Structure 1
Amino acid sequence: MDQPPGMKDPNYPNHVCKLQRALYGLKQAPRAWFNRLSMFLIDYGFFCSLADPSLFVMHTSTGVLVLLIYVDDMLLTGSSMALVQNFLQVLSKEFSMKDLGPLHHFLGIQIQSTDSGLQLNQTRYAYSILERAQMVDCQPMPTPLVQRHDAVTDPTPVADPTFFRGLVGSLQYLTLTRPDLSYSVNYISQFMHSPTLSHLKYVRRILRYLKGTIHFGLFFKKDTSLVLSAFSDADWAGCPTTRRSTTGYCTFLGCNIISWCAKKQHIAMRVLAPRPSIVPWLTPH
């Protein structure tokens, strides 16, 4: 680090300023804020989740508190309303905060609470993707991809690759509440480096499927068992070029799906037949 031009101190030319407080907008500000908040939560009794560093959980004799942080937005829930209100009072004394009430919208995800559970969807976000692609009035399709989609019928590069990558990136975020799009979005994401008109056609088909299923989402049922079950499948060397397999899985806690993925494997396995043994031919002399 050096002193900026025009602000150099002639008496201390090798000194630099020490940052006493991270200002909002600096690159180190989010890290400093997260460190400040996480230290307060840990001192209060929370522990950081090993699966997600932004998730904090606290177990007490009266119940459980769960806190999720995204920059300066927080989601707080607990096993009892009294426990939540007591922690909100402690949190408001330590930080300047505003309680927005029950959760209804968070990071583009709409949450609707019912007597039987939570309904999550991204209808507004999906509609914005259709508006960006100028396909609000398109005809819907029953499936996101055709059954056979290996051949590239039109290898012509797209005129605007940035537009293609923007649509695919938006669809990737949409899979947070749409497991039915995981495989199709994973497939088109493999052509981000050099998209063609055939790949753009696949994206438009996904958007047409999205038009007919724009209100789809996830429902987390409240009264369910805590039995953990998982399902997986693979297409067994489905890629004709690399002979790699695409693996998909989904995990359920009771009747609620909690994780899902569709991913192309990094390696390909070949099963070779054993080489026949060579027996020398002996001839009598």
Structure 2
Amino acid sequence: MTAEYRALIKRETWVLVPHQPNMNIIRSMWLFKHKYKSDGTLERYKARLVFDRRSQQVGIDCGVTFSPAVKPATIRTVLSIALSRSWSVHQLDVTNAFLHGNLHETVYMYQPMGFRHKDYPNYVCRLKKSLYGLKQAPRAWDVAFLLLYVDDILLITSSDHLRHRLMNCLASDFAMKDLGPLSFFLGISVTRTKDTMFLSQHAYAQDIIEWAGMRSCNPVSTPVDTHSKLGAAAGEDFDNPTLYRSLAGALQYLTFTHPDISYAVQQVRMHMHAPKTEHWNALKRIIRYIQGTSSLGLVLGPSSGPNLLAYTDVDWAGCPDTRCSTSGYCVYYGDNLISWSSKRQPTISRSSAEPEYRGVANVVAEICWMRNLLLELHCPLTRATVVYCDNVSAIYLSGNPVQHQRRKHIELDIHFVRE
């Protein structure tokens, strides 16, 4: 608490002002948290002085909030590039990063006297300005990537010389800590052996099992029952919907390194508004599957000839309530799986070719984004991306320029994929 309070004073976070009758005073509270290392041992105690949001007024004390968060597919792509080129990957931490934020509203807080926050330049803009402040331009062969997830930073550099220069430059503006080679990032344990990385959420998976009270459950071989589909009225109302929603949200984050549960998690998350007993049983089946696979994870390695390759498939009219289809895809960069998705389509299709082609359109949109990302990372692809689809009609639609009446409602997807 003392370290947190001293940091607030050092940054001149507030100014004391007299109390006025028309002020909306926001309560404050201390939050305490234990920070753990990748092996589960205690690293340090953490204290934060925060607002009690229940006493805030939207539009007066707060508005739309946003924190910079890098896309998971971007993290996996950059790590794949770093492994292919044997670059170093270090983790950085900004002390009291939120004190560098940009607050436009005037906020009055009681702790124990009213004060008003001062306006500071945007945190991300200051990071950019710090990097622009390098006294000497990097060498032509030096390359660096900086991935930002709120206050957790990954720094990938092509040489130790460049990494030290960037660290010195950032440290001139921020209280930076070099946590060393990447080992634990966003709750994900990273083990690097020679030219491969193993991403695992074993500790997080065990926490989910403990949270659900299923520590002694028997594992199953599949995360979903392949013989039946869950409807909205499957069984009686579940008596603890809050627990259901919390576990479903926790499982969603577990898909960061477990693409094998993406479809199962997507199915249980569709019923978060009104979970039934059968939905709870389906969620418990996922946890039983995790019980036997919690030590598994995602392996990233180097690729001699990197290129994008995609697979897509659709469960036609699989939803028993709406008869909408569920489409899924996975994208490989070389041998590394870097992007995947399972999502229900918004419209109903009368033939299997229509949802299959919409699934192709979805993965093509993802591929376009990823090719642009690689272009910005100065790793452009020289070959076209191949998309595999197991529906003959959808494949013919991709190559046949003839249009007719029955395909007008999917004409946008057809033109998009063909272009």
Match among 118, 122, 125 for residue 201 of structure 2: 122
- What is the match of residue 156 of structure 2? 77
Match among 215, 239, 242 for residue 159 of structure 1: 239
CA contact (8 A) 1:224 1:255 kept: no
Question: Offset at 1:71?
Answer: 2.2
Q: TM-score, normalised by structure 2?
A: 0.54
In the alignment, the residues of structure 2 paired with residue 268 and residue 66 of structure 1 have an alpha-carbon distance, to the nearest angstrom, of 43
The structure with more helix, counted as a fraction of residues:
2
Q: Which amino acid aligns with 1:5?
A: Q
- Give per-residue Cα distances to partners, 1:17-47, cap 9 Å, x unaligned: xxxxx983988389832332244346669xx
CA contact (8 A) 2:230 2:320 kept: no
- Aligned-residue Cα RMSD (Å) equals 2.8
CA contact (8 A) 2:130 2:170 kept: no
- What is the match of residue 233 of structure 1? 313
CA contact (8 A) 1:30 1:71 kept: no
Match among 262, 274, 280 for residue 342 of structure 2: 262
CA contact (8 A) 2:101 2:121 kept: no
2:178 matched to 1:99? yes
- What is the match of residue 18 of structure 1? none
In the alignment, the residues of structure 2 paired with residue 71 and residue 25 of structure 1 have an alpha-carbon distance, to the nearest angstrom, of 11
Match among 293, 297, 301 for residue 221 of structure 1: 301
**Structure 2 CA distance for partners of 1:205 and 1:218, relative to 1, 3 Å:** same
1:270 counterpart SS class: coil
2:240 matched to 1:150? no
In the alignment, the residues of structure 2 paired with residue 120 and residue 30 of structure 1 have an alpha-carbon distance, to the nearest angstrom, of 36
1:172-251 counterparts in 2 under 5 A? Answer: 172-251=252-331
Q: Which amino acid aligns with 1:72?
A: D
**Structure 2 CA distance for partners of 1:263 and 1:93, relative to 1, 3 Å:** same
Answer with 213-222 or 147-156: which moved more.
Answer: 147-156
- What is the match of residue 5 of structure 1? 20
Q: Which amino acid aligns with 2:124?
A: F
Aligned-pair identity in percent equals 38
In the alignment, the residues of structure 2 paired with residue 243 and residue 87 of structure 1 have an alpha-carbon distance, to the nearest angstrom, of 54
Q: Which runs of 5+ in 1 are unaligned?
A: 9-21, 46-57, 275-285
1:201 counterpart SS class: helix
**Structure 2 CA distance for partners of 1:23 and 1:96, relative to 1, 3 Å:** closer
**Structure 2 CA distance for partners of 1:208 and 1:25, relative to 1, 3 Å:** farther
In the alignment, the residues of structure 2 paired with residue 223 and residue 206 of structure 1 have an alpha-carbon distance, to the nearest angstrom, of 32
Q: Which amino acid aligns with 2:226?
A: Q
In the alignment, the residues of structure 1 paired with residue 227 and residue 102 of structure 2 have an alpha-carbon distance, to the nearest angstrom, of 46
Match among 118, 124, 130 for residue 34 of structure 1: 124
**Structure 2 CA distance for partners of 1:7 and 1:256, relative to 1, 3 Å:** same
In the alignment, the residues of structure 2 paired with residue 181 and residue 64 of structure 1 have an alpha-carbon distance, to the nearest angstrom, of 36
In the alignment, the residues of structure 2 paired with residue 224 and residue 137 of structure 1 have an alpha-carbon distance, to the nearest angstrom, of 44
CA contact (8 A) 2:131 2:169 kept: no
In the alignment, the residues of structure 2 paired with residue 80 and residue 221 of structure 1 have an alpha-carbon distance, to the nearest angstrom, of 19
Question: Offset at 1:140?
Answer: 0.2
CA contact (8 A) 1:116 1:223 kept: no
- Give per-residue Cα distances to partners, 1:82-110, cap 9 Å, x unaligned: 22122112212222211111111011100
In the alignment, the residues of structure 2 paired with residue 162 and residue 132 of structure 1 have an alpha-carbon distance, to the nearest angstrom, of 13
Question: Offset at 1:64?
Answer: 1.2
Match among 99, 102, 113 for residue 24 of structure 1: 99
Q: TM-score, normalised by structure 1?
A: 0.78
In the alignment, the residues of structure 1 paired with residue 277 and residue 258 of structure 2 have an alpha-carbon distance, to the nearest angstrom, of 25
Question: Offset at 1:4?
Answer: 5.6
1:177 counterpart SS class: coil
- What is the match of residue 90 of structure 1? 169
Q: How many residue pairs were aligned? A: 245
